Amino acid sequence: MNDILSDVLPEGYNKAVDLDRVGETNFLYGGLNIVYGIDGTGKSYQTSASFVDEDVVYFDTDGSNGRLFVEHCNKNGVHYINYETVATFTPKNKLLDNTFKIIGKIVAHNRAKSNDFRPVFIVDSLTSIAEGQEINNAEKISPLLYLLNNHASIHNYCLILIDHATEHFEKGKHIGFKLEGNAGAKKRTSVTVNRYVPADVHNPEFGGTFYCERARGNNSGLRKGDEYLVTKVNKAMALEWIKRRNPNWLVDGMTKSEMTIKTKNLKDKWVRAFIDDIFGKSVVDKITNFKIR
Protein backbone atom coordinates (compact mmCIF):
# COMPACT_ATOMS: atom_id res chain seq x y z
CA MET A 1 0.00 0.00 0.00
CA ASN A 2 1.39 3.38 -1.00
CA ASP A 3 1.81 5.87 1.83
CA ILE A 4 -0.07 8.82 0.40
CA LEU A 5 0.25 10.82 3.64
CA SER A 6 3.94 10.62 4.50
CA ASP A 7 4.92 13.68 2.47
CA VAL A 8 2.16 15.91 3.79
CA LEU A 9 1.93 15.02 7.51
CA PRO A 10 4.58 15.11 10.24
CA GLU A 11 6.36 11.99 11.43
CA GLY A 12 4.29 10.05 13.95
CA TYR A 13 0.90 10.98 12.50
CA ASN A 14 -0.14 7.32 12.55
CA LYS A 15 0.94 6.52 16.12
CA ALA A 16 -1.26 6.16 19.21
CA VAL A 17 -0.40 5.98 22.90
CA ASP A 18 -0.87 2.55 24.46
CA LEU A 19 -3.69 2.57 26.99
CA ASP A 20 -2.11 0.43 29.69
CA ARG A 21 -3.49 -0.28 33.12
CA VAL A 22 -1.89 1.53 36.04
CA GLY A 23 -0.73 -1.37 38.20
CA GLU A 24 -3.79 -3.42 39.11
CA THR A 25 -6.09 -0.41 39.43
CA ASN A 26 -9.09 0.53 37.28
CA PHE A 27 -7.16 3.45 35.75
CA LEU A 28 -5.36 3.71 32.41
CA TYR A 29 -2.27 5.57 31.24
CA GLY A 30 -2.63 7.80 28.20
CA GLY A 31 -5.87 9.62 28.93
CA LEU A 32 -8.44 11.08 31.28
CA ASN A 33 -9.84 8.90 34.06
CA ILE A 34 -12.88 10.20 35.97
CA VAL A 35 -13.69 9.14 39.54
CA TYR A 36 -16.99 10.13 41.11
CA GLY A 37 -18.81 9.48 44.35
CA ILE A 38 -20.77 11.08 47.15
CA ASP A 39 -19.06 13.91 49.03
CA GLY A 40 -17.49 12.86 52.30
CA THR A 41 -17.23 9.15 51.52
CA GLY A 42 -13.48 9.09 50.92
CA LYS A 43 -13.15 9.06 47.12
CA SER A 44 -10.15 11.42 47.10
CA TYR A 45 -8.65 9.71 50.15
CA GLN A 46 -8.87 6.23 48.62
CA THR A 47 -7.91 7.31 45.11
CA SER A 48 -4.68 8.58 46.64
CA ALA A 49 -4.18 5.22 48.35
CA SER A 50 -4.68 3.14 45.20
CA PHE A 51 -1.10 2.91 43.99
CA VAL A 52 1.89 0.77 44.90
CA ASP A 53 4.98 1.54 42.80
CA GLU A 54 3.80 4.45 40.63
CA ASP A 55 4.93 8.09 40.70
CA VAL A 56 1.81 9.94 41.84
CA VAL A 57 1.15 13.68 42.22
CA TYR A 58 -2.03 15.08 43.79
CA PHE A 59 -3.21 18.59 42.87
CA ASP A 60 -5.48 20.22 45.45
CA THR A 61 -7.30 22.66 43.15
CA ASP A 62 -10.21 22.88 45.60
CA GLY A 63 -8.11 24.16 48.47
CA SER A 64 -10.18 22.16 50.92
CA ASN A 65 -7.72 19.63 52.34
CA GLY A 66 -6.14 19.78 55.76
CA ARG A 67 -2.96 18.54 57.38
CA LEU A 68 -4.29 15.01 57.91
CA PHE A 69 -4.88 14.57 54.19
CA VAL A 70 -1.36 15.74 53.42
CA GLU A 71 -0.03 13.22 55.94
CA HIS A 72 -2.17 10.55 54.27
CA CYS A 73 -0.60 11.40 50.88
CA ASN A 74 2.91 11.31 52.36
CA LYS A 75 2.20 7.94 53.95
CA ASN A 76 1.12 6.54 50.57
CA GLY A 77 4.05 7.98 48.63
CA VAL A 78 1.92 10.61 46.89
CA HIS A 79 3.38 14.05 46.22
CA TYR A 80 0.89 16.69 47.40
CA ILE A 81 0.66 20.14 45.73
CA ASN A 82 -1.51 22.63 47.59
CA TYR A 83 -3.99 25.10 46.16
CA GLU A 84 -1.79 28.14 46.77
CA THR A 85 1.00 26.70 44.65
CA VAL A 86 -1.31 25.86 41.75
CA ALA A 87 -3.20 29.15 41.92
CA THR A 88 -0.10 31.35 41.86
CA PHE A 89 2.22 29.29 39.67
CA THR A 90 2.08 31.79 36.79
CA PRO A 91 0.92 35.39 36.45
CA LYS A 92 -2.17 34.20 34.53
CA ASN A 93 -3.46 32.72 37.77
CA LYS A 94 -5.63 30.16 35.97
CA LEU A 95 -5.97 26.82 37.74
CA LEU A 96 -6.13 24.68 34.59
CA ASP A 97 -3.29 26.48 32.80
CA ASN A 98 -1.14 26.36 35.90
CA THR A 99 -1.86 22.67 36.46
CA PHE A 100 -0.84 21.87 32.86
CA LYS A 101 2.37 23.91 33.24
CA ILE A 102 3.33 22.13 36.45
CA ILE A 103 2.59 18.77 34.86
CA GLY A 104 4.68 19.74 31.84
CA LYS A 105 7.64 20.70 34.00
CA ILE A 106 7.43 17.49 36.05
CA VAL A 107 7.23 15.31 32.94
CA ALA A 108 10.02 17.11 31.07
CA HIS A 109 12.36 17.11 34.09
CA ASN A 110 11.94 13.40 34.79
CA ARG A 111 11.84 12.22 31.16
CA ALA A 112 15.23 13.87 30.71
CA LYS A 113 16.46 11.34 33.26
CA SER A 114 14.36 8.38 32.04
CA ASN A 115 12.16 7.87 29.00
CA ASP A 116 10.23 5.31 31.02
CA PHE A 117 8.85 7.94 33.40
CA ARG A 118 5.04 7.52 33.32
CA PRO A 119 3.38 9.35 36.21
CA VAL A 120 -0.13 9.55 37.62
CA PHE A 121 -1.64 12.99 38.24
CA ILE A 122 -4.76 13.37 40.40
CA VAL A 123 -6.66 16.64 39.99
CA ASP A 124 -9.26 17.41 42.65
CA SER A 125 -11.68 18.57 41.32
CA LEU A 126 -13.53 19.20 38.02
CA THR A 127 -15.63 21.96 39.57
CA SER A 128 -12.57 23.99 40.57
CA ILE A 129 -10.57 23.76 37.34
CA ALA A 130 -13.68 24.49 35.24
CA GLU A 131 -13.68 27.93 36.90
CA GLY A 132 -17.25 28.98 36.24
CA GLN A 133 -17.99 26.92 33.14
CA GLU A 134 -21.35 25.19 33.02
CA ILE A 135 -20.06 21.73 33.88
CA ASN A 136 -23.50 20.14 33.54
CA ASN A 137 -23.88 21.36 29.96
CA ALA A 138 -22.51 18.72 27.57
CA GLU A 139 -21.58 21.19 24.82
CA LYS A 140 -19.73 23.49 27.19
CA ILE A 141 -17.92 20.91 29.30
CA SER A 142 -16.86 18.52 26.50
CA PRO A 143 -14.10 20.78 25.07
CA LEU A 144 -12.50 21.05 28.52
CA LEU A 145 -12.63 17.29 29.07
CA TYR A 146 -11.24 16.58 25.59
CA LEU A 147 -8.42 19.02 26.38
CA LEU A 148 -7.62 17.10 29.56
CA ASN A 149 -7.78 13.75 27.81
CA ASN A 150 -5.63 14.88 24.89
CA HIS A 151 -2.99 16.41 27.15
CA ALA A 152 -2.65 13.10 29.02
CA SER A 153 -2.48 11.26 25.70
CA ILE A 154 0.13 13.54 24.10
CA HIS A 155 2.37 13.48 27.17
CA ASN A 156 1.66 9.81 27.95
CA TYR A 157 0.58 9.94 31.59
CA CYS A 158 -2.47 8.93 33.64
CA LEU A 159 -4.76 11.82 34.57
CA ILE A 160 -7.39 11.18 37.25
CA LEU A 161 -10.06 13.83 37.69
CA ILE A 162 -12.20 13.77 40.83
CA ASP A 163 -15.85 14.57 40.11
CA HIS A 164 -19.07 14.78 42.06
CA ALA A 165 -22.24 12.69 42.24
CA THR A 166 -25.93 13.52 42.28
CA GLU A 167 -27.81 11.72 45.03
CA HIS A 168 -31.35 10.36 44.70
CA PHE A 169 -33.94 10.27 47.44
CA GLU A 170 -37.48 8.92 47.55
CA LYS A 171 -39.70 9.82 50.49
CA GLY A 172 -36.62 10.89 52.40
CA LYS A 173 -34.79 7.60 51.80
CA HIS A 174 -31.46 7.57 50.01
CA ILE A 175 -31.71 5.22 47.01
CA GLY A 176 -28.44 5.79 45.17
CA PHE A 177 -26.35 8.23 43.17
CA LYS A 178 -25.10 8.91 39.65
CA LEU A 179 -22.40 10.90 37.90
CA GLU A 180 -23.22 14.58 38.15
CA GLY A 181 -24.20 16.40 34.98
CA ASN A 182 -24.17 14.85 31.52
CA ALA A 183 -22.76 11.38 32.14
CA GLY A 184 -22.73 10.52 28.43
CA ALA A 185 -20.50 13.47 27.56
CA LYS A 186 -18.10 12.66 30.39
CA LYS A 187 -17.82 9.03 29.35
CA ARG A 188 -17.22 9.95 25.70
CA THR A 189 -14.33 12.24 26.61
CA SER A 190 -12.48 9.89 28.97
CA VAL A 191 -10.69 6.55 28.90
CA THR A 192 -12.27 5.33 32.15
CA VAL A 193 -15.08 6.35 34.47
CA ASN A 194 -15.15 4.80 37.95
CA ARG A 195 -17.90 4.96 40.52
CA TYR A 196 -16.52 4.91 44.07
CA VAL A 197 -18.61 3.21 46.76
CA PRO A 198 -17.39 3.14 50.39
CA ALA A 199 -17.49 -0.05 52.43
CA ASP A 200 -19.16 1.95 55.21
CA VAL A 201 -20.65 5.36 54.42
CA HIS A 202 -20.18 6.40 58.06
CA ASN A 203 -16.54 5.26 58.16
CA PRO A 204 -14.84 6.34 54.89
CA GLU A 205 -11.46 5.34 56.32
CA PHE A 206 -12.51 1.69 55.90
CA GLY A 207 -12.04 2.11 52.15
CA GLY A 208 -14.29 0.95 49.38
CA THR A 209 -14.53 -0.21 45.79
CA PHE A 210 -14.01 1.43 42.41
CA TYR A 211 -16.56 0.09 39.90
CA CYS A 212 -15.53 0.59 36.27
CA GLU A 213 -18.40 2.06 34.24
CA ARG A 214 -16.42 2.90 31.12
CA ALA A 215 -13.14 1.53 29.78
CA ARG A 216 -11.83 2.47 26.37
CA GLY A 217 -10.16 -0.33 24.39
CA ASN A 218 -6.85 -1.04 26.07
CA ASN A 219 -3.94 -3.47 26.16
CA SER A 220 -4.55 -4.60 29.74
CA GLY A 221 -7.98 -6.17 29.52
CA LEU A 222 -9.68 -3.59 31.74
CA ARG A 223 -13.40 -3.77 31.04
CA LYS A 224 -16.64 -2.19 32.09
CA GLY A 225 -17.80 -3.97 35.24
CA ASP A 226 -14.32 -4.58 36.67
CA GLU A 227 -13.94 -3.86 40.37
CA TYR A 228 -10.93 -2.59 42.29
CA LEU A 229 -10.98 -2.81 46.07
CA VAL A 230 -9.04 -0.26 48.12
CA THR A 231 -9.78 -1.06 51.68
CA LYS A 232 -8.84 -1.45 55.29
CA VAL A 233 -11.73 -3.80 55.90
CA ASN A 234 -10.79 -7.32 56.92
CA LYS A 235 -12.10 -10.76 57.82
CA ALA A 236 -13.14 -9.64 61.31
CA MET A 237 -15.19 -6.77 59.91
CA ALA A 238 -16.85 -9.08 57.38
CA LEU A 239 -17.71 -11.50 60.18
CA GLU A 240 -19.21 -8.64 62.17
CA TRP A 241 -21.28 -7.64 59.13
CA ILE A 242 -22.60 -11.23 58.88
CA LYS A 243 -23.46 -11.35 62.60
CA ARG A 244 -25.39 -8.11 62.26
CA ARG A 245 -27.09 -8.67 58.91
CA ASN A 246 -27.32 -12.44 58.34
CA PRO A 247 -26.57 -14.30 61.60
CA ASN A 248 -28.34 -17.45 60.35
CA TRP A 249 -25.41 -18.04 57.99
CA LEU A 250 -23.24 -18.87 60.97
CA VAL A 251 -25.63 -21.67 61.95
CA ASP A 252 -27.26 -22.92 58.76
CA GLY A 253 -24.75 -21.82 56.14
CA MET A 254 -25.95 -20.52 52.78
CA THR A 255 -25.75 -21.14 49.06
CA LYS A 256 -23.61 -19.01 46.78
CA SER A 257 -26.80 -17.73 45.18
CA GLU A 258 -28.18 -16.58 48.54
CA MET A 259 -24.89 -14.91 49.44
CA THR A 260 -24.84 -13.10 46.09
CA ILE A 261 -28.37 -11.79 46.57
CA LYS A 262 -27.73 -10.62 50.13
CA THR A 263 -24.59 -8.73 49.06
CA LYS A 264 -25.89 -7.36 45.77
CA ASN A 265 -25.92 -3.73 46.91
CA LEU A 266 -22.71 -1.93 45.98
CA LYS A 267 -22.12 -0.91 49.58
CA ASP A 268 -22.18 -4.58 50.69
CA LYS A 269 -20.25 -6.30 47.89
CA TRP A 270 -16.93 -5.94 49.71
CA VAL A 271 -18.02 -8.75 52.06
CA ARG A 272 -17.68 -11.27 49.23
CA ALA A 273 -13.89 -10.94 49.30
CA PHE A 274 -13.82 -12.62 52.75
CA ILE A 275 -16.43 -15.37 52.31
CA ASP A 276 -13.84 -18.06 51.50
CA ASP A 277 -11.83 -17.05 54.58
CA ILE A 278 -14.82 -17.52 56.90
CA PHE A 279 -16.70 -20.44 55.35
CA GLY A 280 -15.83 -23.81 53.94
CA LYS A 281 -17.10 -24.43 50.41
CA SER A 282 -18.64 -27.51 48.83
CA VAL A 283 -20.49 -28.26 45.62
CA VAL A 284 -23.51 -30.59 45.64
CA ASP A 285 -25.57 -31.16 42.49
CA LYS A 286 -23.88 -28.14 40.90
CA ILE A 287 -24.94 -25.89 43.79
CA THR A 288 -22.18 -24.17 45.74
CA ASN A 289 -22.75 -24.23 49.50
CA PHE A 290 -20.94 -22.42 52.29
CA LYS A 291 -20.70 -23.65 55.89
CA ILE A 292 -18.89 -22.05 58.81
CA ARG A 293 -15.45 -23.56 59.35
Give pTM, 2 decimals: 0.83
Residues 120 and 223 placed together within one structural domain of the fold: yes
Residues 186 and 241 placed together within one structural domain of the fold: no
- Asked whether residue 1 is domain-assigned, the answer is no
**Which of 231, 246, 275 marks a domain boundary?**
231
Task: Quick: pLDDT tens for 222-279.
Answer: 999 999 999 877 899 899 999 999 999 999 999 999 999 999 887 788 899 899 999 9
Q: Which domain holds residue 227?
A: 31-231
Task: Quick: pLDDT tens for 1-29.
Answer: 678 998 899 998 999 899 999 999 999 99
- Asked whether residue 11 is domain-assigned, the answer is no
Residues 144 and 223 placed together within one structural domain of the fold: yes
Task: Quick: pLDDT tens for 90-139.
Answer: 888 799 999 999 999 999 999 999 999 999 999 998 989 987 677 667 77
- Asked whether residue 206 is domain-assigned, the answer is yes
- What is the domain count for the chain? 2
- Percent helix, strand, coil in the chain, to 5, is 35, 25, 40
Residues 186 and 273 placed together within one structural domain of the fold: no
- Asked whether residue 218 is domain-assigned, the answer is yes
| Residue 168 exposed, middle or buried by CB count within 10 Å (0-12, 13-18, 19+) | exposed
Residues 139 and 278 placed together within one structural domain of the fold: no
Residues 250 and 225 placed together within one structural domain of the fold: no
- Asked whether residue 170 is domain-assigned, the answer is yes
**Which of 231, 261, 276 marks a domain boundary?**
231
Task: Quick: pLDDT tens for 24-51.
Answer: 999 999 999 999 999 999 999 999 999 9
Which CATH number belongs to the domain containing residue 195 in this structure? Answer: 3.40.50.300
Percent of the chain at pLDDT > 90 equals 76
